[in-house]
Amino acid sequence: MQRRTFLGTTIASLTASGLAARAVAGQPAAAPAGTPAPKAGNQPRDTAAATKLGWELGTQAWTFRDRTCFEVIDTAKMLGLTCVQLFPGQQLNKDSTDLKVGPAMTAEQRSMLKDKLKSSGIRAHSFGVIGPGNDEKDVRGYFEFAKDMGMKGLACEPVIVGSYDDGKQQESWKLLDRLTREYGLYVACHNHPKPTTYWKPEVMLTCTKGMNNKLLGACADTGHWVRSELNTVEGLKAYEGHIYELHFKDVKDNVDRPWGTGGGDARGQLTELKRQGFKGPLFVEYETGSGTELEMNVAKCIEFFDRTTREIS
């Protein structure tokens, strides 16, 4: 009942502003004069079912790319989320237009970000998506940044030279194999749509075959599987035992939809993750939308997630 109250409060607040009807996909919504900003609900989400399953719901900061990193953290808190995946190059806050999130941040700047996360009760779980090659100094910088920020791993699409299935071990993957063992951080291979390198699960599985390194796995982007005309549940099955995190989506007609209303079988995905015994974070990620309309859609995803986890747990 707590969950219903929280999300009902959040969505009602957003709807009452009149922004939903005025929002245009891909453009910021304009608020009527005098409209108060949306505020967090007065009661927390009921996450007992998700906790029982070993799942945590967060957001990829890219979802709210229309705002700064600090504003993403505030939005995540408002929506009742508990973790984020930060992405490289996002402006840190409104006061530092030239300061971008990533390894180039100084110790003082990182401390600012750590303090913001801590005071908001939001955890930076991982960082990405990055495209590591075989330049060790460059790749090591990402590992050091993630380790210093208290993150668990990196989401990436390692550079492949030639064919992934020519029987040769890719230099980028060999470097990641070594650095994951050194730093104790995982590397989760992300997939963009066809025809990008990792659009189908077999590519990552082939690149890591024989490495015997459980820190090398997948960040399954289920919406991009739909865009590549792949079945989401079959994709998850192919990755069984290798999934560290997900960019969870429900896409229809190439547009992100509130979970349960798209063509990606969101409930089937969650049911399959339960069957596999997956433990870890699921990040809400939208490639479309902005402003309050986007916040409302993410709130609907959260409502679907909490309801469905309760039903299947």
DSSP string, 250-284: -EETTEE--TTSSSS-HHHHHHHHHHHT--EEEEE
> What confidence category does residue 169 fall into, taking pLDDT thresholds of 50, 70 and 90?
confident
Query: What is the tens place of the pLDDT at every residue in 126-161?
Result: 999 999 999 999 999 999 999 999 999 999 999 999
- 125 DSSP 8-state letter: E
Mean pLDDT of the chain: 89
Query: What is the tens place of the pLDDT at every residue in 197-219?
Result: 999 999 999 999 999 999 999 99
Query: What is the tens place of the pLDDT at every residue in 56-101?
Result: 999 999 999 999 999 999 999 999 999 999 999 999 999 989 999 9
The HSE-up count of residue 185 (CA atoms within 13 Å, CB side) is 25
Six token digits for residue 196: 């990008």
Other C-beta atoms within 10 Å of 88: how many?
17
Cα gap 101→84, rounded to integer Å: 13
Instruction: Report whether 243 contacts 217 (CB < 8 A).
Output: yes
> What confidence category does residue 14 fall into, taking pLDDT thresholds of 50, 70 and 90?
low
Q: Where are the beta strands (DSSP E) in 25-147?
A: 55-60, 83-86, 91-93, 96-100, 123-130
Q: What percent of the chain has pLDDT over 70?
A: 86
Residue 17 clears pLDDT 80, i.e. is over it: no
Six token digits for residue 142: 């990402």
The HSE-up count of residue 43 (CA atoms within 13 Å, CB side) is 12
What average pLDDT does this structure show over 187-192? 98
Which pLDDT value is given to residue 100?
A: 98
> What confidence category does residue 235 fall into, taking pLDDT thresholds of 50, 70 and 90?
very high
2-24+42-312 folds as: TIM Barrel (3.20.20)
Within 8 A by CB and 6+ apart from 42, the residues are: 5, 6, 9
pTM: 0.87
Six token digits for residue 189: 């291979």
Q: Would strands 91-93 and 243-248 be described as parallel, antiparallel, or unpaired?
A: unpaired
